[in-house]
Amino acid sequence: MDNVCSLADKAQKIRRHIIRMIGDAGVGHPGGCLSGVEIVTALYFVVMRVRPEEPKWPDRDRFILSKGHASALLYGVLAERGYFTVDELATFRRPWSKLAGHPDMNKVPGVDMTTGSLGQGLSVANGIAIAAKYDGRDSRVYILLGDGEVQEGQVWEAAMSAAHYRLDNVTAFIDRNGLQIDGPTEKVMGVEPLADKWRCFGWHVIEIDGHDYRQILDAVDEARKVEGKPTMVIARTLKGKGVCFMEGKVEWHGKAPAGDLYEQAKRELGCE
């Protein structure tokens, strides 16, 4: 397999979509979209068994974007994967658009769960995983959580139940970019030691560089082999990755680039 080169190309395209959607709309969350690009791209282009022409195919693998504010990332990936046209991305956050600031499963083909209020995704992933096991389907559930999101108590309720019910068909990623709206996670409300916490809760934990495709794909393979435990992949990432003035800057959590900065971002990403 040499997916890695083509994945890098896809990722660059998706970064362009993200910046265009958010820049043109004048609103959105670029920082946490750009940090999660490699993870979600790898899932939809290599890992997950899906049929874009049949989005509700019952035997598909599922993906839940628990950090729903990164909707532009999901929309960019889904459009590139063929769920809807790339042209539609221009409607992002426009009046009456399907593509709202947080994804709605009943409006957007390919969105497996409506999300936006933080902390709710993992419980839903567990429910899907329980149903898959009951039905004897080998489909798997993937989920992306924010690192600030794990401050929500419901995440730990769900962490407990996934381990208790031995949901080894759940593979979760934490986009560990270290920043949330009000500042560094460790300053706002420390979440470390993150890996130890998940291990204590009974999860198999893998720590990777979340921008490295090999490590992402290896982590997914490792998770597939784990029996009796859900897997948490803690992916160290860089908020705003790919746009130099956004990288590692908390102010780009939920702000659209405008004017010269928007032009610069597009240039850096090679937008035509």
Partner 1 sequence: MVVSTRDAYGDVLVELGGRNEDIFVLDADLAESTRTFKFGEKYPRRYYNMGIAEQDMIGTAAGLALSGKIPFVSTFAVFAAMRGAEQVRTSICYPRLNVKIVTTHSGLSVGTAGATHFCEEDLAIMRAIPNMTVIAPSDAVQTRLAVAAAAAYDGPVYMRLGRGDSPVIYKELDYEIGKAVTVCEGDDVTIVATGVMVLRAMKAAEKLRADKIGARVIDMHTLKPLDKDAIVRAVAETRGIITLEEHNVIGGLGAAVAETVAEEGAKVKVRRLGIPDVFGDTAAAELLWDKYGMSVANICAVAKELIKR
Q: Which residues bind partner 1 (CB under 8 A)?
A: 58, 62, 104-106, 112-114, 116-117, 119-132, 134-135, 153-154, 157-158, 160-161, 164-165
Cβ at position 176, least distance to partner 1 in Å: 22
Nearer to partner 1, 40 or 129 (CB): 129
Nearer to partner 1, 35 or 114 (CB): 114
Instruction: Tell me the HSE value of 226 on the side-chain side, using a 13 A CA sphere.
Output: 25
Cβ at position 67, least distance to partner 1 in Å: 14
Nearest to 204 by CA among 191, 221, 185: 221
* Helix, strand and coil in the chain, % to nearest 5: 45, 10, 40
The label of the residue with tokens 């929309």 reads 75
Nearer to partner 1, 127 or 248 (CB): 127
Nearer to partner 1, 156 or 271 (CB): 156
Cβ at position 161, least distance to partner 1 in Å: 6
218 vs 40, 42, 140, 206, CA distance in Å?
A: 15, 11, 16, 10
Q: Are 13 and 80 in contact (CB under 8 A)?
A: yes
CA dihedral sign of residues 179, 181, 186, 187: positive
Cβ at position 256, least distance to partner 1 in Å: 25
